[in-house]
Amino acid sequence: MAGRRKLENAALALLVFGALLMVQPILNIFNVPVRLFGVPLVVIYLFMVWITLVGVTLLLSRRMPQSEISRDVAEREGES
């Protein structure tokens, strides 16, 4: 149970950290007239933050143990 609580806290921290990465003052750092491969730097930054958040969320969700309700549903679907 303590391991699940730590993972839930990590997921909450990830949400807050991801939101902070997308606030206007941080975005202004990357909003410069620089292009990489023809794409503005701010767009590359946003996509990199997004893909990183998705990847870390995937890792957290894989490590989080299933709840009893989820196990019951999975067992019922296996019986059908």
Residue 27 has pLDDT above 70, yes or no: yes
Quick one: pLDDT at residue 74?
A: 66
* Cβ neighbours of 71 (radius 10 Å): 11
* CA-based nearest residue to 7, from 63, 66, 56, 50: 63
Tell me the C-alpha distance between 58 and 4, whole Å.
Answer: 15
pLDDT number for residue 72: 60
Distance between CA atoms of 23 and 21, rounded to whole angstroms?
6
- The answer, yes or no, to whether residue 1 has pLDDT greater than 60, is no
User: For residues 61 and 4, is the Cβ–Cβ distance under 8 A?
Assistant: no
How many domains is the chain partitioned into structurally?
A: 1
Helices (H), 1-80: 2-21, 24-30, 41-63, 68-79
* Structural domain boundaries enclosing 22: 2-79
- 39 bridge partner residues: 36
